Amino acid sequence: MFSKRSIRRDFLVQLIFASSSLIIIFSSFLYLYIENSVFEEKRQELLQYAKNIASNRSIAANIEATTSEPFINISVEIISLKKPYTDVDTYETTQGNNIFLTLVYPYNLQDLSYIKITKDVTATKKLLEKILHYIFIINVAGFILVIVYAIALSKMLVSPVRTLSSRLSNMNEHLIRPIVVKELPEEFEPLGLTLNHLIARIQNFVKYQKELFIGTAHELKTPLAVIKLKNQVTLIKKRTPEEYIEALKITNKTIDEMNVIVSNILNIGRQEGALLDKPVEVDVIAVLREKANDFLLLAENEGKNLHIHLEPNGFMAMLQAGLLKQIIQNFLQNALKFTPKEKNVILRSSQDDVGLLIEVIDEGCGIDESVDLFAPFKRQGNKSGVGLGLFLAKSAADALGAHISIKNRTDGIDGTVASLQLNSQLSCILPKYKK
């Protein structure tokens, strides 16, 4: 029923042990309290008898003149001791099946005489034994109830986990469905949300991987068909050396295009390895400034203006720096590619309620927002490219737990805004440097 690593088994053992210990300790203290209370009451009763006798000399004289006779289950006698003893002494004795409680009380210290009062407490002892018996029965019943309650409680607590496990075990890449968080107990809602986030990432990964394989086959098939057709045309009849050279140049150009596709696919494989890199503490602002400096010279050579506005002065985060650099590099490359000469590209960052917002703003031709540009081999505009850059950037952002988006500008200027929203949950803001 339970494995060696069963949480439910450990919970049952601990709950039963703790509850049983509590029942035993509580019952023991209860019985001792009842016993002490009852015998203390009997002791006070005998002490009161002794005080009354000691204060009434006529009764004491009558006791001295007669033999000890029981008086309402109490026998009283005057005894003498060899040594003076001023304390009141109480003790139990057993005679046959009867139990007696005896109290010795000082009477006349001059002749060392004491009052000895004995009371039969057999009935009281039997009553206490019955109480102990009933407490034992209650403990056994309570122990059984604790076991039943522990089993039911553990089953109730493990039920949501088993439900989630059953749902997840029956899923595959074709039947992945989000978990209905509202149906889970409140304590399991964070787990449900985390699983839904993971399911969404898996769905996107499967979707894009399928598109990647289909797109790769299509992109490679087209240039291969062109190469084959050119070679067939070339082989139909003899040609001059110059014509053969021209045909080979066209073939080499097509091969170069195929190499670009293969290189980008290799980059995807390298990125899969980068996703497993251990996150380190990185100053995001320093990384942005480093990447911006790399593109300043490129922008100048192309006759374009790259403006940099980075706030705050420092922003520390635990992440894979290589993935962050890959995203920013893709943003800047696309912005400079589609921005005409003498136009501006802006790299800026700002702190918001979520964390750090990084934006690259260009003055290009804009995009069709109805198209999923993050899918592999999706291209817009009249510029050359394979269409895998944004796919890589999206995968990197998902690995960082960040949100990536590309939208058209809304300030009346043509162009796009590529943004990366970093979560501040594992980040901290550095204090501003004093100038």
Residues 83 and 197 in one domain: no
Q: Which one, of 51, 101, 107, lies nearest residue 78 by Cα? A: 107
Are 174 and 203 spatial neighbours (Cβ–Cβ below 8 Å)? no
In a domain, 176, yes or no: no
Torsion angles phi and psi, residue 275, rounded to 5 = -65, -25
Residue 116: its H or E element:
strand 113-120
Q: How far is CA 218 from CA 211, 257, 262, 377, 386, in A?
A: 10, 13, 13, 10, 12
Rounded distance between C-alpha atoms, residue 363 and residue 88, angstroms: 106
Tell how strand 89-95 and strand 98-108 pair up.
antiparallel
Residue-number span of the structural domain to which 133 is assigned: 7-144
Q: Count the neighbouring beta carbons within 10 Å of the beta carbon of residue 331.
A: 29
Give pLDDT tens digits along the chain (435 positions). Answer: 455 566 777 777 887 888 888 888 888 898 899 988 988 888 888 888 888 877 775 555 555 444 444 445 788 888 887 777 767 788 888 888 888 888 888 887 777 888 888 888 888 888 888 998 988 888 888 888 888 888 888 787 777 777 777 766 666 655 667 777 777 777 777 877 887 777 777 777 677 666 666 666 666 676 777 777 777 777 777 777 887 788 788 788 777 777 766 766 666 655 555 555 677 888 999 999 988 888 888 888 889 999 999 988 888 888 888 888 888 988 998 898 889 988 999 999 998 888 899 999 999 888 887 787 777 666 665 555 556 778 778 878 887 888 899 999 988 888 999 999 988 755 444 444 444
In a domain, 50, yes or no: yes
Considering its fold, how many domains does the chain have in total?
3
Residues 227 and 297 in one domain: no
Residue that is written with structure tokens 């995001």 in the block: 284
pTM (whole model) above 0.75: no
Residues 235 and 196 in one domain: yes
Residues 266 and 287 in one domain: no
Residues 34 and 75 in one domain: yes
In a domain, 170, yes or no: no
Rounded distance between C-alpha atoms, residue 224 and residue 339, angstroms: 32
Residues 300 and 418 in one domain: yes
Domain boundary at 274, 305, 322, which? 274
How far does CA 57 lie from the centroid of its chain?
82
Residues 258 and 355 in one domain: no
